[in-house]
Chain A
Amino acid sequence: MKQHDHLASNRLARLKRAAGISSNRLVATEHAVQLLGAVIEPGDRVCIEGNNQKQADFLARCIAKTDPSRVTGLHLVQSVLALPEHIDLIERGQVERIDFSFSGPQASRLALLVENKKIAIGAIHTYLELFARYFVDLTPRVALIAAQAADREGNLYTGPNTEDTPAIVEATAFKGGIVIAQVNEIVDRLPRVDIPADWVNFYIKAPTPHYIEPLFTRDPALITEIQVLMGMIAIKGLYAEYGITRLNHGIGFDTAAIELLLPTYAADLGLKGKICTHWALNPHPTLIPAIESGFVKSVHCFGSEVGMERYTSARPDIFFVGADGSMRSNRAFSQAAGHYACDLFIGSTLQIDSHGNSSTATLDRIAGFGGAPNMGADARGRRHASPAWLRAGREAQLGAGIPRGKKLVVQIVETFREHMQPTFVEHLDAWELAKTADMELPPVMIYGDDLTHIITEEGIANLLLCRTQEEREQAIRGVAGYTPFGMSRDARMVENLRDRGIIRRAEDLGIRKRDATRDLLAARNIKDLVRISGGLYDPPAQFRNW
């Protein structure tokens, strides 16, 4: 007889080995390392939950304390390698291979390990792409996850920071894997059940609450006049032109400036109700003034943001809030929403080349992608129309005898970054990185053929209207300012592109530069945001300077 339940019997064997450690699902904090040693087998695919927001940091510390002779040959399949312990585990020789999305703070250490051949990278994914592979060929055998609370049966409450948890648990629990949760507290009754107990094998009270990075908090006090100017250009030259109602903003001060200009500049232009009504976005504190002024109708969140919990709870018409009154985020769904249901993505980058390819990779850092490429790509499976999407398709002359639409994918950058590093370059550092790290693809964040517009302090380049690669290149050089890349433009061709409206400067849009002052921002500091939220926003300590 052929056996059909290898995975299930293997799971049972693992649970038996753990039986001496815990008689029910609750494992004592001090036995966590022992539990991991008992249930993890050599060569396992392991997911240590963590993304650019919450982290299963206690379980990460524990797995880095397991016996390297027994817990070995691991294949890490997880969103981020952001904690020192993730890299410690590799340095201890317990990991053979990694498939991930983003390595932010550990990007330099990771680059070093790859260069010294201490680790093989399968691929650097986008979030949605990695989640997809959990259900095809990268299903975890063991998932170490983080939740806010558990009840006595092991049901989990993940609350506003639900994030990646449902995707990880679903893949692991339904394919014979083991799910272990660290929780901040154990309570008699949960506010709501986000993950049912029978999908969870063990839960452990962590000695400290799981770490959450306030990654999406931008202090308005640090927004510059150049960013105000670029925000005005984006609103008047792009959002108003195309009538953008459904969108996603990347992370950064450039897009924070746009959010803070909605109740002031955009409202003065009569755009309330006409743009920026529906969002796939984390609960950015800088969106509070736009929400309070009635600009925003709906926001679905990838994750939460530290300090925004009470505010999102108090605005259930805007955010997705459970019957218990707290928000629920879901990274996989929000990524899908950003990909298929938004007409515009706008974000920043470190380098853009003459094809419009953009990358955040630099030579000594393997930083990865996160979610931007899902949002910053045309959704070719999309079949519903909207005016903005159809107009973009018309401008690009898409479709072979059939009308086609196109998503607007916009990069908003200053021509120079700090220390006079040019944003526009002839050659992306990603090429060198691909060579040294032996990657099959240079790590490009947004592909040039997906990019539709570039906004700089020099104006907008509309790449949809370019008919040849030469025009495209000159349009990019034409907004690249005084960088060497920009200075080598063909001045006559750039003037011609400007005459045709492919390049539009601030003055072409009727924007007076002297109006670009910080006075236009609806909030000028964090304290303003707290005030405008009616005291509901509770910023983390590092953002309180009063």
Chain B
Amino acid sequence: MEKFTLTLKSVPAKSRRTTLCGVVSSGNLEVLVEPIGMEDACEIEVSTSAHGFRDIWEAVLNDFAKEHESGGLRLSINDAGATPAVVSLRLSQAFEIASGDAP
């Protein structure tokens, strides 16, 4: 298990609902989105079963924080070997639900 936390600059989120998205199963991940007491940054905590992919995680998460208004949110990721494609998709899904523009 590899664990690390990143704090990334991001535009303040408009809505901050607590959301859980995805499941911890092989090649998949679970992400919990919840509000924290910050404005212009998000905190992302990663626990992953796959070792040695920190660079790719950072690239994926940096892009996420850049493209989504996620300041003031904490994302806790429980990963069971998801590809970057699945990570991005789950984060986008979780964010779309958490930021409240879901139908």
Contact = CB atoms under 8 A, between A and B. Distances in A.
B1 interface: no
Interface stretch (A76-84, A184-192, A319-327, A413-421): A413-421
Contacts, number: 42
A514 B96 contact: yes
B76 interface: no
Interface residues of B, number: 17
Given A416-B84, A487-B59, A512 B89 contact: no
Nearest to B97: A514
A513 B96 contact: yes
A266 B96 CA distance: 23
Interface string B86-103: 101100110011000010
B92 A513 contact: yes
B50 interface: yes
Given A482-B56, A482-B59, A514-B102, A415 B84 contact: yes
Contacts of B4: none
B60 interface: yes
Contacts of B93: 513-514
A513 B89 contact: yes
Given A482-B56, A482-B60, A225 B89 contact: yes
B3 to A, nearest CB: 19
A407 B36 CA distance: 53
Contacts of A414: 83, 85
Contact of A420 (B83, B88, B89, B92): B83
A516 B92 CA distance: 11
A481 B50 contact: no
A481 B84 contact: yes
Contacts of B92: 513-514
A229 interface: yes
Most buried by B among A224, A414, A482: A482
Interface string B35-51: 00000000000000010
B102 A457 contact: no
B2 to A, nearest CB: 14
Nearest to B90: A225
Given A513-B92, A513-B93, A514-B97, A457 B50 contact: no
A271 interface: no
17 contacts: A224-B27, A225-B89, A226-B85, A226-B86, A229-B89, A415-B84, A416-B84, A420-B50, A420-B83, A457-B85, A481-B85, A482-B59, A482-B60, A482-B84, A513-B89, A514-B97, A514-B102
Given A229-B89, A416-B84, 4 more contacts: A226-B89, A512-B96, A514-B92, A514-B97
Task: For the complex of A and B, list the 10 residue pairs with the smallest distance between their C-beta atoms, beginning with the closest.
Answer: A457-B85, A482-B84, A513-B92, A416-B83, A514-B96, A514-B93, A226-B85, A482-B56, A482-B59, A414-B85
Interface of B: 27, 50, 53, 56, 59-60, 83-86, 88-89, 92-93, 96-97, 102
